[in-house]
Amino acid sequence: MQHVVLNNGVKMPILGFGVFQIPASETKQAVLDAIKVGYRHFDTAQSYANEKEVGEAIAESGLPREEFFITSKVWLEHYGYEKTRKAVLHSLEVMGLDYLDLMLLHQPFSDYYGSYHALEDLYKEGKLRAIGVSNFYPDRLSDLVAFNEITPQVNQVETHPFNQQIFAQENMIKNNVQMESWATFAEGRNGIFSHPTLVAIAEKYGKSTAQIMVRWQVERGIVCLTKSVKPERMAENIDVFDFNLTDEDMTVIAELDTKESLFFNHQDASTVDMFLRLIEQRKNGEN
């Protein structure tokens, strides 16, 4: 497995397995299957409601804890210094872990400054090996970097051929923050798996379009998350280190960029309303 080195010297596997939208009842087995095919980097979140099962799989694997890179994320409901501190410690307890390799703030709203200060303190205490954010646009990331003691190690953002985040990556490189992708396959939207450009490149290398999308991110130096509950797909998604894309391949993929999210725009006021509804639904125990 290839690694990137974060701005604090911590090594992070460039490929990871995400458990977003995997039901808690299926998560433990999915993680165990992913471990069997070679994954050691796992990404969960408080809002996914499956942290416990990820922790159980890590414990049951029989492998040393230090072989794994485990990420979780603080949900909006737990923002603010005291709430975030309590929530992170609760995540560790739920997962049965003494530390997390990376903890992110999940969304760029509410009191993310207070929450980030809590992450900084937990980092200093050794509870977190690295800290960062998710879904922070360049302006908010630069703000966080400029006015806090510890530069975030990671910013996890929507990244795929239809939304390539070119400027965002340039800004992260400038600020020495590692870019990580979510929605690597755009959740299959807009026919991405059958797009003629990706199909043609995949046929040239005898690979799947999914493998081309993962390799494209690896070659950009982006930490890439994939997800599947099928072991054969897990194995396929991690099998991308035996070929390289050409400059021509990268150029034609670059032409697919629409520079727009396929999900939601965090700079749109209606997105705040959407997250407020999600918070209320979770409080009420709704899906």
* Catalytic center residues: 48
Residue burial 223-242, b: 16+ Cβ < 10 Å; e: rest = bbbbbbbeeeebbbbbbbee
